[in-house]
Structure 1
């Protein structure tokens, strides 16, 4: 109940306060598990993206965010789970795989941390690994404006315009499990981010 209430409140905030534009939401599957991958420019990103989805989503969040009792309680309530970013976190991968195999939706930011609002030039391998192992579609999403709504050192959320673009699902997941197959998915995700960023520029 609290999750759905939070989604509704965030949608109102996005519509009224941020004049949000959301495109491609019809591309998001209504049923079944999938992996959602997005660019990351603000702490607001996972909350604003999750507010758009018809189903609950479990986002990977940096382990440091779980160090404070209140933030840990809050993140657990919204189905987030920790990942240690500076190492190959086997426990986080297993947790994500378990969720996907239980028909849940998992979200992550393959850049590994907040970056500038531009097409990424480097991604970590967790997203391609999970897609290959779980054999689930990958839904790319590009968000912009949240870095102006809540800058890195900002304390208040500003009324900056926010745009969220959902891309075409990556569904042709190779059946193999070798490095070449994982690299193919990796390049598909990178290409999807570039296309969404170019779409944003074209508009």
Structure 2
């Protein structure tokens, strides 16, 4: 595992975690122009054969994805690039995010209410409880098929893309928030390896030392 990670957007975020080697954090606070210039520089050095239009499409798609994450409440994001164990000649990629949302946690057992809602909302979604060092959490696995909102190819039509994601949802009762730790990939063939990776990440999620006792005590009776 890599060194302990902290979120970029909120220094008082009460949880820490560790990621595997191969994850590269995304600076969500960076100026978009600076971020685009750095990406262009990286693209030109690694894929020099692309045209100017292709570079532009990649940069627009990347910036669009970051803006979407910020709008959705993502406070930390990192991209993973590695070699596929199923096909050693191919690369495998995934993205890890930490997302925080305001939530009504007035029920005596809010996770039970959330689990029921998630199961009723969508068939085929796997929802179960897991016990981590930070307390009882929800584990959610789902697969999505979507049409890209940003056109990278320039063609009139684009093929739909399939992703699979593993989420772990934890309540931050003292803040009235839910935190979502998520790992998503389009490399479905490597799914078992990503499940194992997510399990290892979950083992490292813990309270910050300065907030552990007070937050843990407030969670009593809410899980």
Higher strand share: 2
Higher alpha-carbon Rg: 2
In the superposition, the TM-score normalised over structure 2's length comes to: 0.27
Higher helix share: 1
In the superposition, the TM-score normalised over structure 1's length comes to: 0.29
